[in-house]
Amino acid sequence: MHPAFSVILLTTLIGAGQGLFLALFTGQLYSSIKLIEAQGADFYAGGSTISLLLLIAGLGASFFHLGRPERAWRAASKWRTSWLSREVIVLPLMMAVVFFYGLFHYIGWTEPFYVAGGGILPIDVTLVLGFLGVVIALALFVCTAMIYASVKFLEEWHSPYTVGNFTFLGMASGFMLAAAFSAYLGNHLVGFYGTWAVIFTLLALGTRTASLLRNATLKHKSTLQTAIGVRHRQIVQKSQGFTGGSFNTREFFHHQSPEFLKLVRLAFLVLVFPLPLFLILISYVLQSPTLPIAAFLVQYLGLLAERWYFFAEARHPQNLYYQSIA
């Protein structure tokens, strides 16, 4: 498939935004039961702002993928059958939750109205909203991934690994960003978020490696024989019917050499997994305020390569019909 930068940016930016929100709420949950140091309103409001900006930037990027962005509102109508439609509904919900979560922290609606668990867990408005946000963030990961995983013709994508990759990679980058944000503010949560970022990065490494291995030995269902219905082992296309390009020759192929693909794969395997882990571990040892930021940026750069490769790797059966110009 042709890797469109609008979609690469959309999926990576909102993934980091959702992950950051999940990180903020995880921090709130831990601090409300006094497991980690409590943070002020600025931390949650600031973090929510960054998360919201990432979600807005992702949504903005997605508009560049549309031929008719002015009609985008129509995309919410077929949520019964289309994962794309479901994403279009859940993404604004996510943005609303993040906005109000940050706002309620900012204006200080954090007085507990009920204390659960025998005086252990104080529940306030932000905790309830945050819990709702967790459900929505996870739903958004599933919706985004299922857009790709549900297309059975793209067999490289049609696997539960796709959902795992989108979720774990998004959470890894989000928690990495939370660690970077904590390092920037100079609070004591770098180690806490860094640990979670390492855990999610390792989970993502598991699912991503599994999907790479699966796709390396994937045997495609369609062949030139089934494409034109002629039973012969040797069929060659002599003409695709036109000499110039068409939508079919542009949209479904990356137009890069196999060597370039291998290079991108190597790049993301280094930039997403070992390098950020190394940087975050070093920053923990050195107590560095800048290395977690570098770790996030390196991992995000790697995620761009990862998403590019995700698209380029998928082979669409329609390419069987477009192999020879004349």
Partner 1 sequence: MTQLALVIDLNVCVGCHACVTSCKQWNTSGWAGPMVDENPYGADPTGTFFNRVQTFEVGSYPNTETVHFPKSCLHCEEPPCVPVCPTGASYKREDNGVVLVDYDKCIGCKYCSWACPYGVRELDEMQKVMKKCTLCIDRITDQSLPERERKPACVLACPTSARLFGDVHDPDSEVSVAIRERGGYPLMPEWGTKPANHYLPRQKTRMHISEDELQRADNPLTKEDITVYTGEETIDDVTW
Q: Of 110, 187, 248, 288, which one interacts with partner 1 (CB under 8 A)?
A: 248
**If we measure between CA atoms, which residue out of 214, 211, 196 comes closest to residue 307?**
211
Contact call for residue 252 and partner 1 (CB under 8 A) = yes
Contact call for residue 23 and partner 1 (CB under 8 A) = no
Contact call for residue 219 and partner 1 (CB under 8 A) = no
- Residue closer to partner 1 by CB (options 10, 176) is 10
Contact call for residue 67 and partner 1 (CB under 8 A) = yes
Q: Of 25, 44, 83, 309, which one interacts with partner 1 (CB under 8 A)?
A: 83
**If we measure between CA atoms, which residue out of 88, 57, 277 comes closest to residue 173?**
277
CB-side exposure of 64: number of CA atoms within 13 Å?
11
- How many Cβ atoms are within 10 Å of 38's Cβ, its own excluded? 11
- DSSP classification of residue 64: T
Q: Of 42, 77, 92, 209, which one interacts with partner 1 (CB under 8 A)?
A: 77
Contact call for residue 5 and partner 1 (CB under 8 A) = no
CB 1 within 8 Å of CB 311: yes
Contact call for residue 66 and partner 1 (CB under 8 A) = yes
Long-range contacts of 93-96, Cβ-Cβ distance < 8 Å, separation of 24 or more: 93/136, 94/14, 94/17, 94/18, 94/21, 94/55, 94/133, 94/136, 94/137, 94/140, 95/52, 95/55, 95/56, 95/59
Contact call for residue 240 and partner 1 (CB under 8 A) = yes
Contact call for residue 228 and partner 1 (CB under 8 A) = yes
Contact call for residue 75 and partner 1 (CB under 8 A) = yes
Residues making contact with partner 1 (CB under 8 A): 1, 65-69, 71-72, 74-78, 81-85, 88, 147, 150-154, 221-222, 224, 226-230, 232, 234-248, 251-252, 316-319, 321-322
